[in-house]
Amino acid sequence: MRIALAVEYDGSGFRGWQKQPAGGTVQDALQEALQQFAGMAVRVICAGRTDAGVHALGQVVHFDTPLDRPMHSWVRGINTFLPSAVAVRWAQPVADDFHARASAYGRHYRYLLLNRAHRTGLWPGRVGWCHYPLDLAAMQAGGQLLLGERDFSAFRAAECQANSPIKLMRQANITRLGELLVFDFEASAFLHHMVRNLVGSLVYVGQGKHPPAWIGELLTAGDRRLAAPTFAAAGLYLAAVSYPSQFGLPLAEESLLLPVGPGS
């Protein structure tokens, strides 16, 4: 039997998603909890590997098991053995050809940026921070230049292992909720550090260092050295993953919960 899980986690205390020999990753924690509940070793495959300090609202994983248990039992049982910073939201049986990564046609990342003069004392590790006033309209205009099928080489980390820098960006919205700026990016897939690099460059536009058209110039140039530095991991969330309806998974939008934060 193949089972899909939706997992949320606070990545602040983890070394990223992917399993490491020294442990301390989200995958390590999830597989250890699964082994304790199932009584056997279980390997999970995720929709998108997140870096150290990055969070998830709707990470999706799959695993294979010979055990036949009610889905609610998988959720409650795994959660019993997980650390408090990780929780399974739902479990669902899927067809054998379902693959958490390869079957996905879209991923939605959300970045929360606290925009005020002083840093947060209540949400450390959960939001990014910029103490300069930011021009929301300019940032929104720059974000719209990202839409469509684009070469995102200018926003790609040097260590990125993706086969191609060309991705289809379907959404690049920025909204303000009080002191919080919410960046929402939805695309076919993302390059390593792509969202954090996009946020950094859009913040430059918001500060007035460059006009909105600069974002288009970066796309055309395709040179990472010309874009802004990589922004902090703290405010980044893998918000949702989208799959074809044939797999019968909950709609991705159901994972788009806004974490508790300033202005919420």
Rounded distance between C-alpha atoms, residue 198 and residue 194, angstroms: 6
- Enter the tokens of residue 242: 């989208």
Rounded distance between C-alpha atoms, residue 125 and residue 14, angstroms: 12
* Type of residue numbered 212: P
Q: What is the separation of C-alpha 195 from the centre of its chain, rounded to a whole number of angstroms?
A: 9
Q: Active-site residue among 28, 51, 64, 97? A: 51
Rounded distance between C-alpha atoms, residue 72 and residue 180, angstroms: 35
Tell the residue number behind the tokens 């990223």, with chain if given.
Answer: 16
Rounded distance between C-alpha atoms, residue 252 and residue 256, angstroms: 7
List the one residue out of 45, 73, 52 whose CA is nearest residue 9: 52
Catalytic residue flag (residue 51): yes
Tell the residue number behind the tokens 């379902």, with chain if given.
Answer: 98
Q: Which residues contact 227 (CB under 8 A, 6 or more apart)?
A: 154, 155, 197, 200, 201, 218
List the one residue out of 118, 102, 109, 122 whose CA is nearest residue 45: 102
Q: What is the separation of C-alpha 85 from the centre of its chain, rounded to a whole number of angstroms?
A: 16
With H, G, I as helix, E, B as strand and everything else as coil, classify residue 248: coil
The catalytic residue positions are 51
